[in-house]
Amino acid sequence: MVLVALPSENAAVASSSMRKYVPFSVSLPIVLFKSGPLSSFPICNQSLPSRERAADLINRMTILEKISHMITTADTVPCLGLPKYEWWSEALHGLAYSPGVIFDGDLPAATSFPMPINLGATFNMKLVHDIASIISTEARAFNNEGQAGLTFFTPKINIFRDPRWGRGQETPGEDSFLTSQYVYALIQGLQRGDDERYLKIAANCKHFDAYDLENWNGTNRHHFDAKVTDQDLVETYLPSFKTCIQDAQVASIMCSYNSINGIPACAHQFLLETIARESFHLNGFVVSDCGAIGNSLYTHHYTSTVEDTVAVALHVGTDLECGVFYLFHLPDALNSKKITESDIDRSLMRTFHVLIRLGWFDPPEQQIYRQLNKNNVDTLEARQLSLGSAQESIVLLKNTNQVLPIDMELLKNKKIALIGPMTDATVTMQGLYHGRAPFLIDPVTGFKNLTAGKLINIEYARGCGISSYNEKDFAAAIELARASDIVFFFGGIDNTIEREGVDLTHSPLHIVIMSGGGVDFSYIRDSTQCASLIWIGYPGQSGGLAIATVIFGQYNPAGRLPVTIYPASYVNEVSIFDMQMRPSSTNLGRTYKFYIGQAVYEF
């Protein structure tokens, strides 16, 4: 890891590379244990077995109070002194905007690490563990201030099966073994720390299972039925979840929107009971993706009534709903005798047991994690780890005649042009499921900071959009390119880069791609005009500085692609709906294991 100058820990958000946010407000009180009705009940008696503690609390609740705790926004129970609790917090690569997380007051921001696809590119599981440990520390600090929950719906461990999938960046890549190694390291860092009595936070592995399609040609994730063979299920789609549940002992999993072989995931007895609980020994709860329970009735047409829909989901072990279907229709299922109160109690036992394991009902002064505060957020260690992980994830795909790195001493009084839609990217560098970062260093700022005092002229022009044909900014970019000694293009790639104006420049052209995968780089690979090609994924808060240190030789890039880069023809040759991994008469195969075509760049 290269230590370079980062903004001071108390730096104001002031430059063009920073982004201001408007916070939102969510009520998230912390339980008080020394007064109020709850303090006198067995739920707060640490000498009792945890399941006995949970059972006593459940038995004191009315049926309507129980139902109100079957959804992720659980209501208060005033007569018991039980506060409301928001189960849904997010922390995919740092605390993220979600119903349970508030960026405000003394905790206005949290460290933004590179996306999981970047961490996959490092193949460094100690790094993954260390990042997860910092994320969970910051999560506890936020929780202690009432600005986050203790249950986080992360990580996402589906396989990056198809380059068209819009959420591949949320995963560590296409390989089930790599994903399994990643999730084990991550869960250890998230859930375990210095106090073995408690979970540090409760993680959640999602989306169970065979989920990797959002919306393609009119078929979306709410309607899609994934046809998966037993062989592919065992070899590709289940291993990461087995590691997460059985080995890492995650506290919860999330059932997905889609169906698997005709059965909705949140109504799938074989997956949720036989596999997750009986075979993998899940010690925790199952939560639905948001609105997924209703999908059984409304989009998959697996059930025919709301009562049956509730009953099937509850009986197979979907304990908690992200949504309101349970809230509205559990009473209907009870009245029609499709379910019993004991079915609800079983699910509440699982969710309350996790809260007990988190120390939620125990005195704060007895818990190490309850002592964490704002001083444990956005530390120098966290900043350096965010930068270091971004550097380590960068992949050098092409370097003609070893043109990189560039010696700054040879650039005195010369001009470098930074062109493209990602030259001044800030929030975009964070990727999906991001929060408010303490600072965001874009490529322009990173280049200028690193070359300060070297008499190197850094200029930039947007030039084009990612996939836009609007030419209004072309002229300025072309003029800058012609007048510069070296040209860097930052962005996603489309035909706007191979235009006459760019071909006419005699300056070396370097391409930096910010993406999660799925872009055909073949013409850049083969073009004599393009001197180098660098993939940076979504590198987080210090991404602009990370790429600058690589280009100017302060860090030697060693990242490796965690995905196969297919030719553009792949989308016409292989249906996104075909879940089969092995090649067939209609499928060239998927991932480095089974693809029989010629990859642009290999895994």
Known catalytic residues are: 289
Kindly report the length of the chain.
603
Task: Kindly report whether the peptide bond that precedes residue 207 is cis, defined as omega within 30 degrees of 0.
Answer: yes
What sign has the CA pseudo-torsion 4, 8, 14, 20? positive
Which residue type sits at 520? D
Q: Residue 325 phi/psi, 5° resolution?
A: -60, -45
Torsion of CA 168, 174, 176, 181, to 10 degrees: -70
Q: Which two tokens stand for residue 183?
A: 């999730």
DSSP-derived pairing of the beta strands 509-513 and 486-490: parallel
Measured between its terminal Cα atoms, the distance across the chain in Å is 24
Q: Report the DSSP beta bridge partners of residue 7.
A: none
Helices 443-451/543-551 angle, 10° precision: 50
In 3D space, the residue among 536, 528, 531 whose CA is nearest the CA of residue 512 turns out to be 536
Q: Which amino acid, one-letter code, is at 155? A: P
424: its two tokens:
């001044």
Among residues 345, 361, 366, 355, which one has the least CA distance to residue 40?
Answer: 361
DSSP string, 417-462: EEESTTTT-SHHHH-SS----S----HHHHHHHHHTTTT-EEEEE-
CA gap 429, 386 in Å, rounded: 12
Is residue 562 a contact partner of residue 172, using CB atoms and an 8 Å limit?
yes
C-alpha 514/C-alpha 322 separation (Å) is 32
Q: How far apart are CA 545 and CA 447, in angstroms?
A: 7
Task: Supply 159's token pair.
Answer: 């396989």
- For residues 461 and 472, is the Cβ–Cβ distance under 8 A? no
Sequential DSSP letters for 231-300: HHIIIIISHHHHIIIIIS--SEEEE-SSEETTEEGGG-HIIIIIIIIIIS---SEEEE-TTHHHHHHHTS
Contact 395, 546 (CB under 8 A): no
CA atoms within 13 A on the CB side of 402: 3
97: left (phi over 0), alpha (psi -120 to 50) or beta: beta
Q: Which amino acid is at 44?
A: C
User: What whole-number distance in Å separates Cα of residue 598 and Cα of residue 526?
Assistant: 14
